[in-house]
Amino acid sequence: MTLSNELWKGQAFIVSHAEDADFKTDGLRAFFAYRDLGINQATKGKFGAHVIRAVAGEKSEALWHVHELDFQLIYITKGWVIFEYEGQGEITMREGSCALQPPGIRHCEVRHSDDMELIEIISPADFETTLVEAPSS
């Protein structure tokens, strides 16, 4: 990862290459591995971006939760994942699928393929996640 110290409107120039990828399994979900793309550092926490991969053989806990953030976009680059969203039901997302998850929407990850990979863009970079009850309908 290359980060320029010079700032443009409070942001630094950054490049993250796939061959330098460092996937960590100490992220929000134990069944996913996370690659930080450096956007948090380059924007001083205003935004974050990750490549998230399924950990082969690990299954989702299917826990309902909400994220306390202003923006969350996910784009599936490989495999498939099924999410369930409050008021929307189960949605199967495959390679090329994209979703904007509005702030505070209750959701859970139901299951995924062992080769699932997605890109997540969030704002702010650091946010709280709270477990909640499943929607009543």
pLDDT of residue 28: 66
Entry pTM: 0.89
pLDDT of residue 98: 98
> How does DSSP classify residue 57?
T
pLDDT of residue 129: 92
pLDDT of residue 85: 96
Spell 24-55 as b/e; 16+ CB within 10 A means b: eeeeebebbbbbbbbbbebbeeebbbbbbbbb
3-state secondary structure of 133: coil
Q: Would you state the CATH architecture of domain 22-131?
A: Sandwich (2.60)
* Residues of the chain below pLDDT 70: 27-29, 137
Q: Where are the beta strands (DSSP E) in the chain?
A: 2-8, 11-15, 32-36, 48-54, 65-68, 71-78, 80-85, 89-94, 98-100, 107-112, 117-123, 128-131
pLDDT of residue 108: 93
